[in-house]
Amino acid sequence: MFRRFVAVLAPTSTMCVLDVGVTSDTQQQESNYFEQFYPYPAQITVVGTEDGSHLTGQYPGLRYRRVEPGKPLPFATNQFDIVFCNAVLEHTGSRWSQAAFLKEVCRVGKRFFVTTPNRWFPVEHHTGLPFLHYLPTAAYRAILGVTSYRYWADEGHLNILTGGALRRILPPGAKGQVETVRLFGLPSNLIAFGDCQGVGE
């Protein structure tokens, strides 16, 4: 996904980049992978609902701010050249809330690159359970609600998307597109990217 980010947005050393949704986790290799790979750490601002302050020590010049879920991002309109967001969208609530989140991403950035798990991958990324999430949403949540995975039954905690659902919530006016990332031929993730400058016009 990072290679695709570089290919479609061609970031340079002078571009200001916002990474929305860093984690406090330091054990998983893929945690905060954007910061691991991006060659211009002094151009990165990161925000998260978890404590990501450790990243300022790992990546000299990087800036961190903690944010509240559901609140506007604490930045000016078009402040960033690019907004990058990995695996956050599915945790922002209803489809309406997800659309509002993407609109806020486009408010603070000129271009966006957002990734999220694909509902049609056979194993749901958060629970590790196979196929259950293929059921109608109400049935899926009802079953999860009586298991040890009940946390993920709440729409506010997890609301996974298909490619069609992601296309429908892209901000009106955004010149964006949605692509599927495949793992062993299976649709594992979705990427949405594009130009924010038509949003709100």
DSSP per-residue codes, 27-90:
SSTTTTHHHHH-S-GGGEEEEESS--THHHHHSTT-EEEE--TTSPPSS-TT-EEEEEEES-GG
- Residue 133, amino acid: H
Q: Which two tokens stand for residue 13?
A: 């050393």
Q: How many CB atoms lie within 10 A of CB 31?
A: 14
The pTM of the full predicted model, rounded to 2 decimals, is 0.95
* Average pLDDT of adjacent 10-residue blocks, the chain of 201 residues: 96 98 87 95 96 93 95 96 97 97 96 98 96 96 96 97 97 93 96 86 53
Closest CA to 40 of 55, 23, 59, 58: 59
Q: What pLDDT shows up at residue 200?
A: 60
Note whether 191 and 178 are within 8 A (CB): yes
- Position of tokens 């400058």? 197
Return the pLDDT at 4.
97
Q: How far apart are CA 20 and CA 93, in angstroms?
A: 16
Neighbours of 90 (CB within 10 A): 19
The residue count for the chain: 201
- Domain residue spans of the chain: 2-119+160-195, 121-155
- Which CATH architecture group holds 2-119+160-195? 3-Layer(aba) Sandwich (3.40)
Single out the residue of 39, 44, 68, 71 nearest to residue 55, CA to CA.
44
Under a CB-based contact definition with an 8 Å cutoff, are residues 161 and 102 in contact?
A: no
